[in-house]
Amino acid sequence: MPLNHEIDYKIYGEELQYVEVELDPGETAIAESGAFFMMEDGVRMATILGDGSQQAGGLMGKLFSAGKRLLTGESLFLTTFTNEGGGKARVSFAAPYTGKIIALNLAELGGKIIAQKDAFLCAAMGVTIGIEFQRKLGTGLFGGEGFIMEKLEGDGMAFLHAGGFVKEIELGVGETLRLDTGCLVAYTSRVDFDIEFIKGVKNMIFGGEGLFYAVLRGPGKIWVQSLPISRLAAKVLSYGGSNRKEEGSILGGLGNILDGN
């Protein structure tokens, strides 16, 4: 695996953030397709198969590297941004929706992070982006992210994006945290990820929280989000129809008339 480029960075914004990466001459950042925001003169953009780790491995190596991304629902291609000038140059990548950008130094996190499939935003060249299979049947079927998650490996910087507010939690040996399956963003390799059936018939039928918890057991770090994109999309769709249901039917109906609905 190639050495990771040692990029510097700064995150801007509050709810709709972007990360600015500073590249020394010859340094490269890789990003998810569509994440590009802006770049300074001297930076060259190129599209590659996979994450760049197999660029010297022939066509089959490139196709294999890229094919792994299809299993996570991502594009075959990533975009590289290389500073070909004589001085420092900056390139920026924007979050796709409201939330927070998470900066991860993989060298300080055991060299490996497992993340939800759409969390990756950008990274230093040399970070490999692969797949992680859930070994437990129940976790794969009901864990919210399916059998396949994204795996980031290396010793450089990587950046994830998650919805709403993001909290980093460190679990000690044997410590357990239960959360909504969609609220898990990422975790370090020593954390055990499982699912747990919600007990109680009333909770299952009327709780509105699904049938399963995500259960994380330490040791290790996890990152959780307060607003999964699936929850945000469902809420937006609920307001997209012509028959809106507001709280308080009389006042709600009057409000719909006044605002033209």
Q: Please, what's the b/e burial string for 157-185 (b: 16 or more CB within 10 A of its CB; e: otherwise)? A: bbbbbbbbebeeeebeeeeebebbbbbbb
For residue 177, the one-letter residue type is: L
DSSP letters of 196-247?
EEPP-HHHHHHS-S-SEEEEEESSEEEEEESS-HHHHHHHHHHTTSSS---S
Rounded CA-CA distance 120/113 in Å is: 11
- What confidence score (pLDDT) does residue 86 get? 93
The top-scoring range by mean pLDDT among 9-13, 61-65, 179-183, 214-218 is 9-13
Is the pLDDT at 72 greater than 80, yes or no? no
As given in the structure block, the two tokens for residue 198 are 């919600």
Indicate the burial class of 207 (C-beta count within 10 angstroms; 0-12, 13-18, 19 or more). Answer: exposed
- What confidence score (pLDDT) does residue 242 get? 53
Is the pLDDT at 169 greater than 60, yes or no? yes
Rounded CA-CA distance 25/15 in Å is: 32
Rounded CA-CA distance 132/204 in Å is: 30
Q: Which of 43-47, 59-63, 104-108 has the lowest mean pLDDT?
A: 59-63
- CATH code: domain 8-237 is 3.60.160.10
Helices (H), the chain: 58-71, 137-142, 201-206, 229-238, 249-258
Question: What is the pLDDT averaged over residues 204-225?
Answer: 77
Asked if residue 152 lies in contact with residue 104, where contact means CB atoms within 8 angstroms, the answer is: yes
Question: What is the pLDDT averaged over residues 8-13?
Answer: 96
If residue 32 lies in a helix (H) or strand (E), which one and from where to where?
strand 28-32
Rounded CA-CA distance 133/151 in Å is: 9
Rounded CA-CA distance 23/29 in Å is: 8
Is the pLDDT at 64 greater than 60, yes or no? no
Work out the percent of the chain whose per-residue pLDDT is above 70.
69
pTM, entire model: 0.78
pLDDT band at 184 (very low <50, low <70, confident <90, very high): very high
Asked if residue 149 lies in contact with residue 117, where contact means CB atoms within 8 angstroms, the answer is: yes
